[in-house]
Amino acid sequence: MKLEDYELRGTALRSSDIKKGKVLSTSWEPDLKYAWDNGVAIGRYLAELKAGQIIGRACHKCRRIMIPPRMFCELCFRPTDEWIPLEDTGTVNTFSIVHVNWDASRRKKGEPPLIPAVIEIDGASKGMGIMHMLSEVDPKDVKIGMKVKAVWKSEEEREGAITDILYFKPARAKAGKRRKQ
């Protein structure tokens, strides 16, 4: 049988056809259930966050400590070697000053802007970090290279999520060192 090229014609519809029931339609709400398996690396990472600790994973061949942790190295394609406890301090790699909420609505008048940032975590390799929020800082004072420290939820409130860290705030200068004025 030879297929020929032919015109496919549709049937024009009006909204009144739908209202009058001339068009067959159905409506339903799905009852969907989702399951999410974090895997070994992210599962342990989240469990450690619940305990108030940030961890990474080391690749001895590449001499890198990766965060978020992963069970294989994407550079040398071999399994990573060990868990490494990291500091809850870091350096701002990049940031943004945001005047809208996550749902794209404007922030209310007088409400401070949001400051999402990529934080290179101390103890991890350069360029390795996490995205999180900055707070307790005037947006005009945020700088790339700024040292920050995690502010954690109380132990009772933690649930094993990245939100167990409430935000990062500017780190104070260590005792004995003076800040430049």
Indicate if the pLDDT at residue 181 is higher than 90.
Answer: no
Question: Model pTM?
Answer: 0.74
Sign of the Cα torsion 100, 101, 107, 112 reads negative
For 44-62, the pLDDT digits (tens) are 999 999 999 999 999 999 9
Indicate if the pLDDT at residue 25 is higher than 80.
Answer: no
What's the burial of 56, exposed, middle or buried (CB within 10 Å: 0-12/13-18/19+)?
buried
pLDDT at residue 178, rounded to an integer: 45
For 113-147, the pLDDT digits (tens) are 999 999 999 999 999 999 999 999 999 999 999 99
Question: Are 59 and 71 spatial neighbours (Cβ–Cβ below 8 Å)?
Answer: no
Provide the β-strand partners of residue 59.
64
Q: How confident is the model at residue 38 (pLDDT cuts 50, 70, 90)?
A: confident
Question: Are 84 and 56 spatial neighbours (Cβ–Cβ below 8 Å)?
Answer: yes
The single residue listed with the structure tokens 């519809």 is: 13
Tokens at residue 128, please?
Answer: 């390795």
